[in-house]
Amino acid sequence: MPPAPGDRDARREDVSQAVWRILAGKGFGGLTLRAVAAEMGVSTGMLMHYFPTKRDLVGHALHLLEEHTAARPRRHRPAEGLAALRAVLLDILPLTPDGTARNRIWVSSWDLALADDGLHADQAGRYARMRSAIRPHLEAARRQGELPASADLDRLAADAIAVTHGLVVQALFDPGRFPPDVQTATLDAFLASIATTGDLRD
Amino acid sequence: MPPAPGDRDARREDVSQAVWRILAGKGFGGLTLRAVAAEMGVSTGMLMHYFPTKRDLVGHALHLLEEHTAARPRRHRPAEGLAALRAVLLDILPLTPDGTARNRIWVSSWDLALADDGLHADQAGRYARMRSAIRPHLEAARRQGELPASADLDRLAADAIAVTHGLVVQALFDPGRFPPDVQTATLDAFLASIATTGDLRD
DNA sequence: TTACATACCGAACGCTCGTTACGTACGTGA
DNA sequence: TCACGTACGTAACGAGCGTTCGGTATGTAA
């Protein structure tokens, strides 16, 4: 019965890429149906055919964001413990044009997410997932003696995410002062500080 | 010659407060002239009388943001060194409703700032000023032996701002998981880690 | 009094937004 | 062949935006 099965998914993928480019350039504030349509050289009606409302489009864009974040080319995960944590955090930083675009979109989404209850909860969940994702590495680090036995891993997880995202924001606004090697060094300074610390007090 | 000197500045201040309330509630995405006018119970024409364009209004709002940040009630600055740094960073965190509103607006402004070249530069400058504002405390800390003599203070400044703002974002999205005492403890964990570290390697 | 600038209101303009309605081309199933 | 559902394009709608404009009231300066 479907006449042209014409890859529906492929079309949605095309739209996704156009949305991605708009977001990377203009942020969520510049994401309009007409901008996306113009970027693709198609009509707005075509967009609505695949995404009935703009909310669907935004929702898909945020889904894309998480997908890109999960599917980005990962550097070799060298070992367990702090080295592995370092690799995870380095993967987050805007060290490449692609990483910059990804983080640009992340930060841009926060205005929307803070204003919209549903997106707000999504974002809180994403952070919780990030923290629990790095916990195993912290546990391994503590097991290997890279962290003191008394270390509060939940606190350290929040600290590590905080350093990383705080660095992301500063780097986005001042890429000249935070080239990749400076970002790496700054992150390493943090890791070194928690690693060589004998006592992370309550 | 001016007929009603009618406090022009007082009026601008009224407008500023209305803008502040809108921003705290809806973010920059919800900042419209009509919203501000409705909040004040006046006409949009009145707004244009004091701020010729919306850009002027936004610029003033960002100026307000910096002013509020500078003029907020500061906790007692106890001493020099890391204790003073701690006080500065605690003043930034969203530990009170007012501080939450201030940070809410900060984060919300990033989408706009990343899209607009002028605002982009302003924001980069603001970060640079923040880093140089905490440098004296780091220098004092090093002088007092709270930091190793080899410590890279520029790096530490970026790290401290990163931890703080990264914590701000997480706290804004999940205030339940980051009540004031948890934020304080997380920040203290960071400070303790840099303080007791014997070697902050390059 | 006249002249004039300020302080505002209310309505409107032109534009862009998300969304909808309508039309057409096309490939399939009967 | 004919009916039908999909895949679009084109055009328009209504709402909301920033901005402009004309009008009125008011208070000072001359």
| pLDDT single digits (tens) B4-63 | 555 778 888 899 999 999 999 999 999 999 999 999 999 999 999 999 999 999 888 888
pLDDT higher than 50, residue A118: yes
* Residues contacting B107, CB < 8 A, separation 6+: A110, A111, A114, B168, B169, B172
The reply to whether residue A200 touches residue B178, judged by beta carbons under 8 angstroms, is: no
Distance between CA A2 and CA B6 in Å, rounded? Answer: 71
What's the CA gap between A34 and A54, in Å, rounded? 11
Average pLDDT over residues A18-41: 94
Mean pLDDT of B137-146: 94
**Nearest residue on chain A to B163, alpha-carbon basis:** A163
A8-17, A137-146, B150-159: which range is least confident on average?
A8-17
Looking at residue B185, its pLDDT comes to: 95
The CA radius of gyration of chain A, in Å to the nearest whole number, is 20
Ordered alpha helix ranges (H), chain B: 8-26, 33-40, 44-50, 54-71, 82-92, 97-115, 117-143, 153-173, 180-195
CA of A19 to C1' of D12 (A): 25
Which tokens in the block code for residue A120?
């707000």
Domains of chain A, residue spans: 8-67, 75-195
Nearby residues of B146 by Cβ (< 8 Å), 6 or more positions away: B81, B82, B195
A116 → chain B, closest CA residue: B26
Protein residue closest to C17, using CA and C1' = A32
Q: Is B62 exposed, middle or buried (0-12, 13-18, 19+ CB in 10 A)?
A: buried
Please, are residues B109 and B62 in contact by the beta-carbon 8 Å criterion? Answer: yes
Residue A173: its chain B contacts at CB < 8 A?
Answer: 113-114, 120, 123-124, 127
CATH class label, B75-195: mainly alpha
pLDDT for res B64: 84
**The pLDDT of residue A66:** 81
Return the CATH fold of A8-67: Arc Repressor Mutant, subunit A (1.10.10)
Tell me the one-letter amino acid at A66.
E
Which nucleotides of strand C come closer than 7 angstroms to any CB of the protein? 4-12, 16-22, 26-29
| pLDDT tens by residue, A132-154 | 999 999 999 999 999 999 899 99
**What is the least distance, in Å, from the CA of A1 to any CA of chain B?**
44
The average pLDDT across A151-169 equals 96
pLDDT at B166 exceeding the cut of 80: yes
Contact A166 B170 (CB under 8 A): no
List, as ranges, residues 42-101 from A with C-beta within 8 Å of B. none
- A1 CA to D2 C1' distance (Å): 15
Interface of B with A in 22-41 (CB under 8 A): 26-30
- Report the candidate in B67, B190, B27 with the shortest Cα–Cα distance to residue A190: B190
